[in-house]
Structure 1
Amino acid sequence: MIVSVKSIPGMVGSFGSVRSVIVTFLFCCNMFRRHCPTKLRRYIKKLTERLSGFLNPDMQVLIHEYLGSHLRRHEAYSLIAAYLSVKLPDAKRLKAVMTKENEVMLSMDESENTTDVFNGVEVRWISGTVPSRAGSYYPEPEQRYYKLRFDKCYKKMMTEDYLQHVFKRGREIRAASRQRRLYTNGKSSWSYVVFEHPAKFATLAMEPEKKEEIMDDLLTFIKSKDYYARIGKAWKRGYLLYGPPGTGKSTMIAAMANLLGYDVYDLELTSVKDNTELRKLLTNTTAKSIIVIEDIDCSLDLTGKREKKEEKPAEKNPGKVEKKSPSKEKDESGSKVTLSGLLNLIDGLWSACAGERIIVFTTNHVDKLDPALTRRGRMDKHIELSYCKYEGFKVLAKNYLELEVHPLFQSIEELIQEIEISPADVAENLMPKSAKDGPEQSLRNLICILEETKNSKCREVKDAEINHNAAAI
């Protein structure tokens, strides 16, 4: 194409005219957005969408990440993400997530799209976000979504057959690549790390009969969905683990998670602002999970006991340090979670928001808990984890020293039945103190500790008898 010199001024004038039209159009659009009434703009927007829908043969289905104003995560969203991780032929911007055994799962980045084919029909998946709402009491993150677009003449096939195919395949992919997670609560939300605790029931230092009883109870629970539905109860089960420090309560929880393949939500009540925030956290947990509240007697003042009204003193003693009541400490901690709020969430209407969940409380002092918190139906099974006995010692000896029999076992059996020692203390003394120490030396170290503990206990008993006799005289 040859452009003559004479035609250049005309072309420049044409470009100038086009630029003027564009600038005028943008100016008019800006003035329209500023001064047009909101209702009129909404009406024009709806009219435009209807007109484009009439002219465009495509139909679309939106699947948001959350349901009910961010109260609960939509399972369909995660299933679609898993399905699309292996269906990304067109997407150029991807996100990578590490799964089990160092495998990588890919997903589409925001505002990216890809195609899929089902029964010879091509569909398109588009990822996007909805901006968060400003000015809300609890700030909410951006709402992510997937958009499925297809020809509307295939509506029935896409909404029935195709989506069911996506969900089924997504569950298979997620189960094959899923890494279990350990969650902790922050400000109205959960954050997580990969759950890699190695504890198993086979390594727990407790009686074999008791372990079998707990395992049978757990495995019966996960197979009882229809039974819970028939009797009209939410599909959940509560466990109360109690006993002295060092008896393996946290290890028991890890063994439960490994046995069932569940995620763990470690709920720190002192960082929860109030009952509303607690409700939001618990409703945002998933099925197949264990919700843990450790040291429930120390987390907050949840005894349910009302404090007596303090009498007003006539004068304040400036030299006396005023003791803070539990209620004052609770107010200063910033948490307003109440016993009734916690009970409603573990055994009320909100407890059924996600099925197949286990709730575990741990405490060192079960007598300090309110009976309303520990009654059956809330804490269905009470498990006492007590001091180490001979059966528990044999498990630890096998784990730490790879010994099932030894001549020193008889001495340990006689000593361990007479004193109170936690499994954590036994395990610590079974560990080699140096590279030269063999299994026999570790056993002798344990015997020394047991004998010292026994002698110390005997001295305490004698001192108590002497004091008692002196008081009687």
Structure 2
Amino acid sequence: MMTWDMTQLGSVMAGAMFVWAMFKQWFPEELGNHIETYFHKLVTYFYPYITVTFHEYQSDEFERSKAYMAIERYLGANSSKRAKRLKAKVIKDCKSVVLSMDDYEEVIDEFKGIKIWWKSSKTIPEQQAIFTYRADDEKRYYKLTFHRKHREIITGVYVQHVLDEGNVIATKTRQRKLYTNSKSENWSGNKWTMWSHIMFEHPSTFDTLAMDPKKKKEILNDLVTFSESKEYYKKIGKSWKRGYLLYGPPGTGKSSMIAAMANLLDYDIYDLELTSVNDNTELRKLLIETSSKSIIVIEDIDCSLDLTGQRKGKKKDGKEENDPIRESVKDKKKKKSEVTLSGLLNFIDGLWSACGSERLIVFTTNHVEKLDPALIRRGRMDKHIEMSYCCFETFKVLAKNYLDLEEHELFATVGRLLETRNMTPADVAESLMPKSAEENAESCLNNLIKSLENLKEYDDDRKVQESSCDESSESESESSDSEG
């Protein structure tokens, strides 16, 4: 019915416009303007349909419109069966296909018995010469058409319904990504960005994480509470973000913990390499380009940059000491990166850190004592998590993961040895992993026991060496005193 109405009305309007063009040639311009105004009002009065346009990009924004993307997902899921021309997007390692309307396609949707017409279209800037045309210059938009008597229900209820449904579909089909920064910009989608990414598919979860179950539960509850506290953070006047400091020896599972956090909350990960950042301005730009629902990670923060050694040495009289060696080393570091401690602090909790929401900032380090106290105080790194050596409870998690064992007669021996040994979960896991088809659970446990016993012998030898070194140093000091 609408197609017939539009055809008839189009013919009438075309004839009227022809008459109007002839009329303008014979009557004064001022009179013509008045008549044109009344003519448009007359057409509007008789034309029964209202059109709403949703553009892919707003005039003052560089990112795609969230409303446009939600409509695209909604129409792809609900109207793709009726559309004749579709666009396909393969996601999740070629295991799923998402369909959406092709350009210039029109479909009919229905809401509470009301018919709504959607059309996908695009335009090319008029000043764009055909020989300089590029695909990214196209301006895409969706056009929504409905009868004016349904204006209130369409604009007040239906549009919001489409946006909500589109966001739900986005959550179900979302591909999580692992980002890293580089020294040059990259073309991603529809813009230049300082981040490049791959799909994030790390298998680590809190169920497989080798850690004391009590500490694991505490961290898990903290993360879930954070993800559900949007209104609470707004109430107390704080940005919706939280900082985590993971510290401990290498091989204690810090990277696995970050992956488990991302899998639990369904967040993207931004792995920030500070040594690739030129200065504080570039660091701020990187922060602005990060999205909500993400984890910003700086691994080995104590090794990334010399953030605490940027003050000159002082003499006893308080004057600055210009050490040429220190200055030359400092100059070399400046050539690599001029990121300062102040710039990093502003990155964590300054004004610019509030440009996004629902984000975790995670630092990892093997030497927490080397970090500046201002960097890890509460409010910046809100929760400090020690990733320690393997204990018996951690071992039982690893035995369940690697050998599918919950009890064994050798567990008691392993537990007794772990009480007097410092072995990382990574080393324990390596011993428990079968290396051939002939190895079974018992042989793997025996391998672990042997490794723990060898670790004891190594510790005993080290103590003997240290005691002998101490004795030799004492004898040398005694001899020097006697000579004096």
**What code does the residue aligned with 2:117 have?**
V
* Distance in 2 separating the partners of 1:93 and 1:75: 21
Count of aligned positions: 405
Alpha-carbon distance in 1 for matches of 2:352, 2:43: 45
| Inter-partner Cα distance in structure 1 for 2:248 and 2:59 | 40
Q: Which amino acid aligns with 2:69?
A: S
SS across alignment from 2:443 = helix
In the alignment, is residue 78 of structure 1 matched against residue 58 of structure 2? no
Please give the residue correspondences for 1:160-309 in structure 2 after superposition, counting only pairs within 5 Å: 160-186=156-182, 187=185, 188-303=193-308, 305-308=310-313
Name the structure 1 match of 2:334.
331
**How is 1:262-411 mapped onto 2 (pairs within 5 angstroms)?**
262-303=267-308, 305-308=310-313, 311=322, 327-333=330-336, 335-411=337-413
Alpha-carbon distance, 1:121 to partner? 4.2
- Write out per-residue CA displacement over residues 342-399 of structure 1, whole angstroms, 9 at most, x where no aligned residue: 3223212222222221111111121222222111111100001011111111111111
2:95 to 85, 102, 112: 102
Instruction: Tell me which amino acid in the other structure corresponds to 1:417.
Output: E
1:53: how far off? 11
In structure 2, C-alpha distance between the alignment counterparts of 1:471 and 1:250, rounded to whole Å: 41
Match of 1:37 in 2: none
TM-score, length-scaled by structure 1: 0.76
User: Which residue of the partner structure matches residue 31 of structure 2?
Assistant: none
Report the Cα distance in structure 1 between the residues aligned to 2:382 and 2:348, rounded to whole angstroms.
12
Separation in 2, partners of 1:155, 1:454: 80
Q: Tell me which moved more, 258-267 or 154-163.
A: 154-163
Q: In the aligned structure 1, how far is the partner of 2:85 from the partner of 2:387?
A: 54
In 1, the alpha carbon distance for the partners of 2:123 and 2:179 equals 24
For residues 391 and 151 of structure 1, the distance between their equivalents in structure 2, rounded to whole angstroms, comes to 64
Structure 1 residues 256 and 472 mapped into 2: Cα distance closer, same or farther (>3 Å)?
Answer: same
Deviation, structure 1 residue 80: 2.4
Relative to structure 1, the CA distance from residue 272 to residue 152 in structure 2 (aligned partners, 3 Å threshold; closer, same or farther) is farther
- Compared with structure 1, are the counterparts of its residues 182 and 142 closer, same or farther at alpha carbon in structure 2 (3 Å cutoff)? farther
**Partner in structure 2 of residue 148 of structure 1:** 143
1:78–1:374 distance in 2 versus 1, CA, 3 Å: farther
Change in 2 beyond 3 A, CA 1:331/1:106:
farther
Q: Distance in 1 between matches of 2:121 and 2:321?
A: 60
Aligned Cα root-mean-square deviation (Å): 3.3
User: Where in structure 2 are there 5+ consecutive unaligned residues?
Assistant: 1-38, 126-135, 186-192, 314-319, 476-484
Q: 1:151 to 1:364 in 2, by over 3 A?
A: same
State the partner residue of 1:427: 429
Task: Report the AA paired with residue 224 of structure 2.
Answer: L
Percent identity over the alignment?
51
CA distance in 2, matches of 1:90, 1:60: 20
CA gap of 1:312–1:432, structure 2 versus 1, over 3 A, is closer
Q: Does 1:124 align with 2:96?
A: no
Structure 1 residue aligned with 2:106 = 114
CA drift at 1:468: 1.6
The DSSP-based 3-state class of the residue aligned with 1:407 is coil
Q: Give the C-alpha shift of residue 236 in structure 1.
A: 1.1
| Distance in 2 separating the partners of 1:247 and 1:130 | 56
C-alpha separation between the residues in 2 aligned to 1:324 and 1:97? 54
Measured after TM superposition, the shift of residue 426 of structure 1 is 0.8
How far off is 1:185 after superposition? 2.9
Amino acid at match of 2:334: D
SS in 2 for 1:218: helix
Amino acid at match of 1:328: D
Letter in 2 for 1:117: D
Shift of 1:174: 1.7
* Residue 445, structure 1, aligned to residue 438, structure 2: no
**Distance in 1 between the 2:323 and 2:309 partners?**
24
